[in-house]
Chains A and B, each alone.
Chain A
Amino acid sequence: GNSVTQMEGPVTLSEEAFLTINCTYTATGYPSLFWYVQYPGEGLQLLLKATKADDKGSNKGFEATYRKETTSFHLEKGSVQVSDSAVYFCALLANDYKLSFGAGTTVTVRA
């Protein structure tokens, strides 16, 4: 079946530090890949997505590249802010239209 594995947290960073959250997947066919973000007390929001190999999704300074050869979709941001403190979920959407989520990574950015 389909599955997503992302690095465990929590991750604590200082403002302006570099952030990487690793995500790898297992899926049949050619899934679409997503990063969702959950701010405290809220639902999930789409952060970025990529629908085919070598696509790069980007939004709010975050980037992730769909790497088919390594089945990965790592999230990166070059300089984090306190407002980036949230839980980040990697997810894939395969041919059955059901989203599969990773466990989530809690990121805390300190001023």
Chain B
Amino acid sequence: GIQVEQSPPDLILQEGANSTLRCNFSDSVNNLQWFHQNPWGQLINLFYIPSGTKQNGRLSATTVATERYSLLYISSSQTTDSGVYFCAVMNYGGSQGNLIFGKGTKLSVKP
């Protein structure tokens, strides 16, 4: 089945710094989503981005489907950005229509 790898696994930043999180996947995908898991466990939707570039405030994401990777950019990080960021993909062939998650990037933003 399709494999999803996220890097780095852990990231520590000073408040105000910028960061880039990467998601590599092993097969073509029809759906790619980025989530932020809050301290209570809920997955918050950040982007639905099977291809192209999107921006939402200080966050932006780019998926290059032909090269099988996606990047999540966080600019001017804040302590509230701390948490785990997940990339999840879906395709009919490899995942039978369910989301396959990476192991996540744990981000800690220090004041």
Q: Do these two chains interact? A: no
Interface residue ranges, B against A (CB under 8 Å): none
Interface residue ranges, A against B (CB under 8 Å): none
